[in-house]
Structure 1
Amino acid sequence: REDIGILVDALHFWRAGESLAALSSLPAHHLNYMQLCDGAAQRPESEQELIRQARSARNVPGEGGLDLHGLMSALPATLPVSLEVP
């Protein structure tokens, strides 16, 4: 479908185990915007901790262990960015 859009959330992207190559292959016109935050590099083992981190333990970009540089490099430079931080 052509009338859909994708929101890229940095934390959810890395927690899902996706690859930067998969992200780069998406048609740019389907990417609406990005939510940027940082977080622990390692994915939590429990679903409860995964939810806790997503809801209340996001970090300011640069204060966590996510590969934000790689993520931003894989997205169109003109993609709007929304900070999702405490």
Structure 2
Amino acid sequence: MPIRKLSANFIAAEQKVAARKAELQANPLLTVPQAAQWLGVSVSTLNRWRSLGRGPASEKLGGKVFYPLSDLQAFCSKA
């Protein structure tokens, strides 16, 4: 049975997934409640900061908000 060659697009997508997994291991994403607890503020305060563009940088994945740990650390070092 012949082995099929993988398409270049498939290989590129697999490489992107592997790179993202490695990035997330080095810099985990925290949920809004986790980030609020880490910062020592309420969830509503963190949400207000995000809506005003004042708080730490966040990412949206699948419609949910996450905070990279490195961005929370950078935000605390600035404050």
- For normalisation by structure 1, the TM-score amounts to 0.23
Which structure dedicates a bigger proportion of its chain to helix?
2
Q: Which has the larger radius of gyration?
A: 2
TM-score, normalised relative to structure 2? 0.24
Query: Which fold has the larger relative contact order, with Cα–Cα distance below 8 Å and residues 6 or more apart in sequence?
Result: 1
